[in-house]
Structure 1
Amino acid sequence: MKRYLIIILLILAGAVAGFLYFAKDEVAFTKESPLYKAVPLSVPLFLEADGLKAIPADNPVVIELAGIPGFNNLLNEISGIQSVIESEPEIQKQLGKRPVVLALDFVGKNVLHPVIIGNLKSAKEREGLELLIEKLTGISRTSFQKRNYNGYAIIDVFDSDGNNELSYSVAGNLVIISPEVILVEKCIRQLDVPGITDNQYFNLVNRTVANQSELAGYINHRRFPELWADLLNSTTKQQENEFGETDRINLKRDVLKIKDYASWSELDLSFHDNRLTLNGITAADDSLNHFLSVLQGQEAVSCNADRLLPKSTSFYIGFSFSNRDLFFKNLENYFVHSEAYYNREEKIKMMEQNFRTDSREKFRSLVKDKVLAAITTVPTEAEMGSLLILNGQSGKESQEVFEGMLTNYAKRKDSELESLVSTFRSSDQQNYRIYQFPYPSLPGIWLGGAFDFVRARFAAFRDDQLIFASSKEELEKYLDDMDSGETLRTDSDYETISRAAESKANLNVYGNINKLYALRHDLFSSEINKGLEKNEAVFRKFNAISWQVVCENNIYFNALNLGYQQKAKNDVRAKWQCRLGAEVALKPQLVINHTNKAKKEIVVQDVNNQLHLVDADGKIIWSAPISGKIMGQIHQVDYYNNGKLQYLFNTNEKIYLIDRNGTSVANFPIILKSPATNGVNVFDYNNNNQYRYFVACQDKRVYAYSHEGKIISGWSFDKTSGTVTSPIAFFRVSNKDYIVFSDENQVYIQNRRGVMRVNSSAKFAPSANEMALNTQGVPKMVTTSRDGDVFYLFFDGKFAQKKPENFHPIIGLKWMILTAMESQSSYLLTRMACMFSTKMGINCLKKSLTIIC
């Protein structure tokens, strides 16, 4: 979890929303201010504003922050200062309008404390300041204690118990105030030595400050990581890597490694009704080995992350560049001068020995103009799902290069390439080769610490992209999502914040704060987590954050947006909520609680392939790991014929039977002979709970299993000509049993032994829709063709065909609904409505119901 840019996002989300806002109303801003002279070189952050002004109380963001007790107290104190200034005639009103700097610096054991630097222009203003301090502290001016320090007077304000409330000094026309006298002394010493105004990088960012800016924040990147360190989880975690080494991850320690990101940044803060924005520039220099200099010489490029990443994305970081070779040249130059150089080179050398090639050059050739890394799922316990995407020049050529590397690797291991390859067919019937990749740490080694969070264990090509994923299941889900159009651009949180983002950039970072919230215990200290949890409802309304860096003429422009959502997306009051710890993979299914049939329960699978049973109150009864994504429906069966129900279902690898305690029953799970292509169906021929299980597989066979889970020897069906994707159906008509299924070429109507029972004269290409039975009049089966025609298949082998008019050419749903209504089968109608749950199907269903009604 030591992933630095995620930390940046989460900390800025809180810091921008709260701390910077406080500064807006307590301090002031000016361009070319002499106040900078007193700012210590050691500060990680300081802020300046154009005066102590009234808070925009009607701003939605301010209203929301006021719901946090700490912020509310702070805002009340600022309001109190304003009231004192306005009500006391002896206090000059200019004190609330002058340019002021608020700097944060470390005292003692890296504890941050503030120091305020402002202007006083006369002895009368000094008297007004003393009166203001007296009113605010309740301590008489006559008890203030004065002493000399470095040629300047420091005034200490002690309370009745002898505790120092604050100290201040008037040095020339500057006034320096802090609750920590050490900081006052530090600022005084700074007056006589070169300061930040002598730093060329600070001056560069300061010259770009917008005149209309109400608040500007300055970040000293050399010290800024120290500011984060005390906020982070200090626990050290260990994990073994593929090189046989033990990686020790400690966020508090590791965050200090990014002190060479850049030199100085300046950001102007603006408030909007639905977001906070920070815009400004960062100064970096390749001669100082600043990481941001990797983007030197590049032009901004469209990232297209919303088209390349799935809707489930919680976080992503991406580099986009106009000159690929220059980018990787700069990247290598950065590593040459970094502390990680030798360790990185050793790991790359080990990879190259097995790949038998220059792996850096090969991977570089697989990239065109961008690299993307993303976190998808964020479970509470299991490893988070992650992706790395390289967009290439040509999918075919890239695949040949990649397979060549893996072929060499396999030979080094006395194996063949195919031992590392498996196949996957997406829900859109697209076939993919999935490669097992031997170096999961590649992204961080090759591209740097910002990509350390990705585990590249499996890979596949889709169009011109090479996609690495943390698991095979994660990769298959990605391919499914992409083929079905479930991309990041369909996510409402992303869509809202992307409106304010730049269309082209070189560094793109996005985080969905609500989805990342589950990482808080891994990321932050216990003290920070207490605050997050206490004020969770407020923080969760800051729903997403985006950060972009645009390189123009070697100047780095920042655009940071923190999204705020005033209202929940759906104003629906749920009876209960249940947090699974990961995104739901399949729609929840209501099931019977055999101990209390009046209370239904829910079975649901998440994207980490955990199956959960949730009770009527939203409490998780159990969670069980499953080998893959569940296919089809979850059936309830009474396996022991004792009134207790179990859950039967399949993945592409196994058939499961799980009891109400989450435990596998009898000989289950059953390992399938070949990967399944449809959901298992359950038949009880004689209504005696002696079940039969039917499932079709990739080897074109339909398998029949007995009640105990053994293959039935009496089932003698050979093979289908195509792939069966819809569940096997069972009909009983005139005391005869019919086992019915179809592939893309024909319909098969068999008896219990798998022998053809009906040889239908209908010749058509069946659709993937389930077969329906219509007993109105002459019994018949109803199905559709891929052309949208409706076919009535009679049990004597004859058929009737109807061509729907003015309707979608593929689905023909209207006629199936009419057929269901004719047979007065509300159950069938419900099944059909579920069956057409795609976007196209829903639209067609709406049209059909309109026509029918």
Structure 2
Amino acid sequence: MAGFLYFTKEEVAFTKESPLYKAVPLSAPLFLEADGLKAIPTDNPVVMELSGIPEFNNLLNEVSGIQNVIESEPEIQKQLGKRPVVLALDFVGKNVLYPVVISNLKSAKEREGLELLIEKLTGIARTSFQKRNYNGYAIIDVFDSDGENVLSYSVAGNLVIISPEVILVEKCIRQLDAPGITDNRYFNLVNRTVANQSEVAWYINHRRFPEFWANLLNSTTKKKENEFGETDRVNLKNDVLKIKDYASWSELDLSFHDNRLTLNGITAADDSLNHFLSVLQGQEAVSSNADRLLPKSTSFYIGFSFSDRDLFFKNLENYFVHSEAYYDREEKIKMMEQNFRTDSREKLRSLVKDRVLAAITSIPTEAEMGSLFILSGQSRKESQELFEGMLANYAKRKDIEFESMVSTYKSSDEQNYRIYEFPYPTLPGIWLGGAFDFVRARFAAFREDQLIFASSAKVLEKYLDDMDSGETLRTDSDYETINKAAESKANLNVYGNINNLYALRHDLFNSGINKGLEKHEEIFRKFNAICWQVVCENNIYFNALNLGYRQKPKNDVRAKWQCRLGAEVAIKPQVVINHTNKANKEIIVQDVNNQLHLIDADGKIIWSAPVSGKILGQIHQVDYYNNGKLQYLFNTSEKIYLIDRTGTSVANFPVILKSPATNGINVFDYNNNNQYRYFVACKDKKVYAYSHDGSILNGWIFDKTSGTITAPIQFFRVSNKDYIVFSDESQVYIQNRRGETRVNSSAKFSPSANEITLNTQGVPKMVTTSNDGDVFYLFFDGKFAQKKAGKFSSEHQFEVDDINGDGKPEFVFIDEDGLFVFNEEGDKLFEEEFDNNLLAVNLYSFTATQKMIGVTDADENEIYLFDAKGKQYGGFPLNGNSEFAIGQLKNGGPLSLVVGDDDGNLLCYELE
């Protein structure tokens, strides 16, 4: 950038003003025009955050250095720092981008001042500059003491052209005598819209812009067979080159705000050139209502909204007729029509009223993403009859029963839905184009007037549950923040949650870009969301792009540090051992978007990795290879994971469960030799035992429970005997290592969903509660004792331990909005009532005889810590809306408390 003020020695008086654009190469994919050196406000919060990236900070310092030299040297004209400048990027050699800077001079005296400036900035004497002629103009090459060309520049008329690549200077000189961008009517159209108050304007040449993107993307080719028996090859770097016909030119004015960057301007497109954006020609902007139709877990969506449905699809078909994809698309649609026995395009079009949406809802570690494809319908009854008719025709054609393609699902809100298997998963991309290629439409259902397709039955069921419970995108804080700056009506809407999409970085970008993303992850994660909209008005296409920035929250100055996760915490954070540095612990936690994060003792994210669903129960650390290195073992409802300290799955994991899990996995090491056994209960009412390597354990012969197990399976060793213990809604099972009954308890009661714990104070016993809150001591000889504390609902949570150090257990309950603590005799020690239902209860050991009780009021974003007498720990309540962990993060340091808040942060407090 410093080079934009370096000029030639020719003594010429300049009187004629020439447009800066005249020298911009036609091959440049984009360029910007800045209104002087101070076009970027360095005191803006977003700019200040970006300055934490050394490359960006160096650029700011360079510009500041130029300004300082101009201000301090009396022989340099001060107006030079205010002179407009164009910075273009163009390709040299093997698609490598280099900058070329174009500005102007107004007099020979300015030139003399600028020659002094270049000498000051480079430390190279003007007498060593080398001049040569090119196409009638002088090019000056500046070499350093090693003979390396620092930059080249030329004065051509009243324009000055500078670049570190002499080829670009020569290209700009040649451009002066050839038709250029100023002869392009689409460029002139967008150029007339530059806002007077805009200090930075971006110009995009859409014919070449895909080549710019291709330079950043992953070039790996992935192969997958589609439903037509063909092999689809996905290569992002190659595929992005196909969008060169999106439009002609765009101009976007850059504005800086405290919580976002915005780009606003217009795009020029023409249907005679088969520009894709012309599909929106003749439309009026309408509300997409995407935030009402998509779930809170949405990571990305794209949608078209239109006022004239028939015109939209007519324009779409006309675009495809003139595109390279025409014949392949027609062939696939013809195959669908043969099986549906109808005009697929016409029938699909009639299912749509005024919008189509496609979204990514989950990003797992392996397999494919969870995706949705939503059509807004005219009338549910008519649309459902039409859709079922298409499927019935397909079933008849394939000689299968139509009802075999249909199942019923009851949502969490007790609503019944018909789920249809759909035979053409790649329909969205075939029908609507490459922007919808990421969607897989395998299952479908109707909800209200929408037809929803999903990549799997599970994704569809979760969508229906979320919608029925009101968990829509509009309730997401990241979306809500950026939506305030968005247009209320648009024709094209694109939204991305940057923190969620960060997990896709290796799939999307090349290794160089990924190194930068990972090196500066903490900074990039503060840019929480991006929203891009196109509004068609009188066949002019207006753009509004917002990049949201979430400033460091100021809500709790007591936190030692806070780490931006991008989504609320889903499970209790855990303090874990760092086997590479045991003096410093780490934190592992999952957020509500199923991202698993490992965070160091200072609050820096080490890595983030997506998993297939919410983690059930605890994350266990195991030494799988018996070499002192620890891994993390846990399960979702679908899989058992074993992940190493780099976030990578190891050995034969993940293991796919035979039935959805209903509890968190537990790990037993019978002989303390790191030959682990894993126990998990599943929806089919079986308890599965796995050997060390994740294979089914042959010696475990337990059949089935009569009900559902939700608490972890327990292993107790008492008097040299082993006990495997678990419970469902009807009984407690006390088995041996083979799964055979070891103890038949005489206690007959309906167990609660709380975990069974071992208590060794006095006679060893197992402790749990009944469904209505009675405490049961289950002894290992089959006898029991029943303790009355209070009457509680079936949703109560229970913990037992010696909290006050008297050698006897205390009973701790939470039920709805109350915390209750009793002694062993059933006497109430204290009770606390809160404004909302409590999330969970946990016990924490501060010393051998001192334990504390922790509860969370998630609705109020407050956490509490009480001693055995009900006295609150100093400084509480603190901010937090999740369960919390307490532990020593650094050897010799204080106890730390780690908790999530309602703003998507992980907070760390130090306890005195």
Aligned match for 2:520, one of 516, 519, 535: 535
1:613-672 Cα shifts (integer Å, max 9, x gaps): 689999988643335653356578899999986423213686533456544333879998
Aligned 8 A contact 2:773 2:793 in 1: no
Residue aligning to 2:169: 184
State the secondary structure of the residue aligned to 1:52.
Answer: coil
Separation (CA, whole Å) in 2 of partners of 1:167 and 1:529:
32
State the secondary structure of the residue aligned to 1:576.
Answer: strand
Q: Per residue, is there more helix in 1 or in 2?
A: 1
Alignment of 1:490-569 (within 5 A): 490-567=475-552
Separation (CA, whole Å) in 2 of partners of 1:380 and 1:359:
35
Separation (CA, whole Å) in 1 of partners of 2:123 and 2:787:
96
Deviates more, 1:472-481 or 1:615-624: 615-624
Residue aligning to 2:400: 415
Please say if 1:582 is aligned against 2:614: no
User: CA RMSD for the aligned pairs?
Assistant: 4.7
Distance 1:508 1:825, change over 3 A: farther
Residue aligning to 1:657: 689
Aligned match for 2:217, one of 204, 220, 232: 232
Please say if 1:489 is aligned against 2:497: no
Residue aligning to 1:53: 38
Separation (CA, whole Å) in 2 of partners of 1:410 and 1:54:
64
What TM-score do the two structures reach when normalised by structure 1?
A: 0.76
Please say if 1:428 is aligned against 2:457: no
1:233-284 Cα shifts (integer Å, max 9, x gaps): 2222211111111112222211110000011100011111221111111111
Q: Which runs of 5+ in 1 are unaligned?
A: 1-18, 713-729, 743-768, 789-810
1:2-56 Cα shifts (integer Å, max 9, x gaps): xxxxxxxxxxxxxxxxx9xx999999xxxx9711222222211111111122753
Residue aligning to 1:279: 264
Residue aligning to 1:169: 154
Residue aligning to 2:83: 98
Residue aligning to 2:302: 317
Separation (CA, whole Å) in 1 of partners of 2:272 and 2:340:
34
Residue aligning to 1:648: 680
State the secondary structure of the residue aligned to 1:344.
Answer: helix
Distance 1:834 1:532, change over 3 A: closer
Separation (CA, whole Å) in 2 of partners of 1:484 and 1:189:
64
Instruction: Look up the equivalent residue of 1:773 and give its one-letter code.
Output: D
Q: Which runs of 5+ in 2 are unaligned?
A: 8-16, 564-574, 576-585, 589-597, 599-606, 625-629, 754-769, 777-784, 797-813, 843-854, 872-912
Distance 1:293 1:429, change over 3 A: same
Residue aligning to 1:369: 354
Distance 1:250 1:689, change over 3 A: same
Residue aligning to 2:774: 773
Residue aligning to 1:610: 639
Aligned 8 A contact 2:668 2:715 in 1: no
Cα offset, 1:601, TM superposition: 11
Residue aligning to 2:748: 737
Cα offset, 1:444, TM superposition: 0.6
Aligned 8 A contact 2:677 2:690 in 1: no
Aligned 8 A contact 2:186 2:268 in 1: yes
Aligned 8 A contact 1:590 1:602 in 2: no
Separation (CA, whole Å) in 2 of partners of 1:133 and 1:406:
73
1:203-259 Cα shifts (integer Å, max 9, x gaps): 111111110001101000001111111221222221111111111222221111000
Please say if 1:450 is aligned against 2:482: no
Separation (CA, whole Å) in 1 of partners of 2:622 and 2:520:
40
Aligned 8 A contact 2:787 2:826 in 1: no
Separation (CA, whole Å) in 2 of partners of 1:651 and 1:738:
22
Cα offset, 1:771, TM superposition: 4.2
Cα offset, 1:611, TM superposition: 3.3
Aligned 8 A contact 2:365 2:610 in 1: yes
Please say if 1:342 is aligned against 2:327: yes
Separation (CA, whole Å) in 2 of partners of 1:772 and 1:601:
37
Separation (CA, whole Å) in 1 of partners of 2:440 and 2:634:
26
Separation (CA, whole Å) in 2 of partners of 1:271 and 1:196:
28
Separation (CA, whole Å) in 2 of partners of 1:368 and 1:669:
57
Residue aligning to 2:376: 391
Instruction: Look up the equivalent residue of 2:688 and give its one-letter code.
Output: Y
Aligned 8 A contact 2:622 2:632 in 1: no
Q: Per residue, is there more strand in 1 or in 2?
A: 2
Aligned 8 A contact 2:329 2:430 in 1: yes
Aligned 8 A contact 1:774 1:823 in 2: no
Alignment of 1:142-221 (within 5 A): 142-221=127-206
Separation (CA, whole Å) in 2 of partners of 1:671 and 1:421:
31
Cα offset, 1:114, TM superposition: 1.5
Separation (CA, whole Å) in 2 of partners of 1:841 and 1:416:
51
1:743-771 Cα shifts (integer Å, max 9, x gaps): xxxxxxxxxxxxxxxxxxxxxxxxxx954
Distance 1:349 1:710, change over 3 A: farther
Aligned match for 1:473, one of 443, 454, 458: 458
Please say if 1:461 is aligned against 2:441: no
Aligned 8 A contact 2:152 2:164 in 1: yes
Distance 1:585 1:530, change over 3 A: closer
State the secondary structure of the residue aligned to 2:324.
Answer: coil
Aligned match for 2:96, one of 86, 111, 121: 111
Cα offset, 1:485, TM superposition: 2.5
Residue aligning to 1:626: 657
State the secondary structure of the residue aligned to 1:58.
Answer: coil
Separation (CA, whole Å) in 2 of partners of 1:264 and 1:549:
14
Cα offset, 1:428, TM superposition: 2.6
Separation (CA, whole Å) in 2 of partners of 1:298 and 1:327:
8
Aligned 8 A contact 1:731 1:773 in 2: no
Percentage of identical aligned residues = 67
State the secondary structure of the residue aligned to 1:347.
Answer: helix
Cα offset, 1:172, TM superposition: 1.7
Instruction: Look up the equivalent residue of 2:141 and give its one-letter code.
Output: D
1:478-516 Cα shifts (integer Å, max 9, x gaps): 222222322222222212111111111111111111211
Separation (CA, whole Å) in 2 of partners of 1:95 and 1:611:
64
Aligned match for 2:115, one of 130, 145, 159: 130
Separation (CA, whole Å) in 2 of partners of 1:823 and 1:183:
86
